[in-house]
């Protein structure tokens, strides 16, 4: 599904990613962990197509198709979704209208008609229930005045609506209390299938108790320095990142 080969990326001339290799197959859950400043969020943004980042070399492809020449919206149409660490507030646009627009824009790109209103409403209801989202919440302006937890839940709600092939969850656990964390993780697990894949980016092991990864990678100083199974996450939690750093020296 997602293949990243020897990816080097920089922002404003500063090298952040220094040779990333990653292969994510359908049905898999990957966790990317690492200390602050390791390049985790940069990796997510580069895959989603943020223009502030300059890809110096290497390739990113989805199902064999090179993503690098595609605009962010085109990547979304191909099935890439990134849950933002800091979702943006858009006053004046309701959650419902935003989601409707996103879905219909994607359909338009695929040459499909708008989703019938009834089907849309049914889907909104179903996914809102899955994430235990109150109806009133849906008519509020997107992310405006939302608590940290509400913002993250809203991100996963959008993911549920858009049904991406590849979901990258960037620090989705930050700002969540334990109940919200459980709801969000439960939502992600329910959306999981053999045809899609999830990349969880996190600083802490906590989220991985709920979304159990098949593989764990440690990102440090722009490179994946260690890969393993879910036990690696536990080891990191116990020993901290210094252990990795020392091992590298």
Partner 1 sequence: MNSMDLKDKLVTSFLAFENKVDTNDFVHGIRNEAIKNFEAKGFPSKREEAWKYTSLNSVLKHDYSVSFNKENVIEYKDVKKYFIDDTETYKIVFVDGVFSAHLSKTTHDKLDVCLMSAALTKPKYQPVIENYFNKIAAKDGLTSLNTAFTNEGAYIHVPKNILVEKPIQIVYFSTGSEAAAMIQPRNLVVVEENAHVQIIERHQSLTSNPVLTNSVTEIFTENRAMVDYYKIQNDNENASLIDSTFVNQQQKSVASVHTFSFGGKLTRNNLNFYQNGEYMDSILKGITIIGDKQHVDHNTLVHHIEPNCESHQDYKGIFADSATGVFNGKVVVEKEAQKTNAFQSNNNILVSDKATINTKPQLEIFADDVKCSHGCTIGQLDESAMFYMRSRGIAEKEAKALLMYAFSNNVLDSVKINELKTRINKIIANKLGVNMGFDL
User: In the complex with partner 1, which residue's Cβ is closer, 158 or 196?
Assistant: 158
Nearer to partner 1, 199 or 232 (CB): 199
Pair of tokens at residue 120: 């849309």
| Cβ-based nearer residue to partner 1, 146 or 220 | 146
CB of 145 to partner 1, least distance (A): 15
How far is 113 from 107, CA to CA, in rounded Å? Answer: 7
For 36-41, the CB contacts below 8 A with 24+ separation are 36/203, 38/219, 38/220, 38/221, 38/222, 39/219, 39/221, 39/222, 40/170, 40/171, 40/201, 40/203, 40/219, 41/85, 41/170, 41/171, 41/201
Minimum gap (Å) between residue 143 Cβ and partner 1 = 9
Nearer to partner 1, 108 or 239 (CB): 108
Smallest distance from the beta carbon of 221 to partner 1, in angstroms? 26
CB neighbour list of residue 129: distance below 8 Å, 6 or more residues apart: none
Q: How far is the CB of 125 from partner 1 (least distance, A)?
A: 18
Query: Closest distance between partner 1 and the C-beta of residue 233, in Å?
Result: 27
Q: Decide: 66 and 18 in contact? Cβ < 8 Å.
A: no
Q: How far apart are CA 101 and CA 186, in angstroms?
A: 26
User: In this complex, which beta carbon is closest to partner 1, that of residue 109 or of residue 248?
Assistant: 109
Torsion (CA) 1, 233, 40, 217 in degrees, nearest 10? -50
Report in angstroms how near the CB of residue 165 gets to partner 1 at its nearest. 13
Residues that bind partner 1 (CB under 8 A): 48-51, 71-73, 75-77, 80-82, 84, 87-93, 97-98, 100-106, 109, 114, 158, 162
Q: Are strands 65-66 and 53-62 parallel, antiparallel or unpaired?
A: antiparallel
Smaller CB separation from partner 1, 35 or 87: 87
Dist CA 166 CA 62 (whole Å): 9
């Amino acid at each position: 599904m997602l293949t990243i080969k020897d990816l080097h990326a920089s922002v404003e001339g500063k090298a952040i990613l220094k040779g990333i290799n990653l292969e994510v197959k359908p049905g898999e859950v990957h966790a990317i962990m690492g200390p602050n400043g390791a390049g985790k969020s940069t990796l997510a943004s580069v895959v989603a197509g943020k223009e502030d980042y300059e890809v110096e070399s290497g390739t990113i492809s989805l199902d064999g198709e090179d993503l690098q020449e595609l605009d962010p919206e085109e990547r979304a149409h191909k099935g890439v979704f990134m849950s933002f660490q800091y979702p943006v507030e858009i006053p004046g646009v309701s959650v419902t209208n935003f989601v409707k627009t996103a879905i219909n824009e994607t359909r338009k790109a695929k040459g499909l008609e708008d989703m019938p209103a009834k089907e849309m409403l049914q889907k909104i209801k179903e996914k809102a229930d899955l994430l235990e989202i109150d109806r009133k919440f849906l008519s509020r302006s997107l992310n405006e005045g939302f608590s940290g937890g509400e913002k993250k839940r809203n991100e996963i709600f959008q993911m549920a609506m858009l049904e991406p092939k590849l979901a990258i969850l960037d620090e989705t656990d930050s700002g969540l209390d334990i109940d919200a964390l459980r709801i969000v993780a439960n939502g992600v697990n329910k959306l999981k299938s053999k045809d899609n894949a999830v990349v969880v980016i996190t600083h802490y092991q906590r989220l991985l108790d709920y979304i159990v990864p098949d593989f764990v990678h440690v990102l440090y100083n722009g490179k994946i320095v260690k890969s393993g199974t879910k036990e690696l996450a536990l080891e990191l939690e116990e020993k901290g990142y210094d252990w990795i750093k020392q091992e590298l020296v």
